[in-house]
A = this chain, B = another copy of it.
Amino acid sequence: MKGLGWHVIAELSGVDPKVLDDEQLLIKIMVEAAKKAGLTVLATKTHKFSPQGVSAVVIVSESHLFIHTWPEFGYAALDVFSCKDEESTWTAYNEIVKKLRPRGVQVIMIKRGMLQRQELPVPPLGQEGYQIEQLQR
């Protein structure tokens, strides 16, 4: 069954805090990675936190690349989600990791849009308590 997208979720640790606090550098790295992976950049948005930290998103026609950084911990949460193909998703991810040079990496890949989920009845409006399949790590 073909999925609609590949979502790489990565935890990067031991990254240079100066890099993680550099809004312009981060968005440049993300955009270059997207292009290198053959993704089409549609829009970018960044936010610089005070006193430190950056959120940067690149919307590509194939989905998105997102990074949130905590320079104080040398940590970045990185998401690369592409509906182009699995290879390009990893290419974009690898390009970003090459630039950020984390000392530690933990990564998972989730196939999105497998469309094989359980069909549930539409809940009545305003009613809480959806029956969900919850898998907590």
* Chain A interface (Cβ < 8 Å from any Cβ of B): 4-5, 7, 9, 11, 13-14, 42-43, 45, 47, 49, 55, 57, 59, 61, 63-64, 66, 68, 70, 73, 75, 77, 79, 81, 83, 94, 97-98, 101-115, 117-123, 125-126, 128, 130-137
Contact = CB atoms under 8 A, between A and B. Distances in A.
Contacts of A68: 5, 63-64, 81, 83
Q: How many copies does the complex hold?
A: 2
A68 B14 CA distance: 31
Given A73-B113, A113-B11, A120 B105 contact: yes
Contact of A126 (B57, B66, B98, B104): B98
A134 B6 CA distance: 13
Nearest to A57: B57
A115 B13 contact: yes
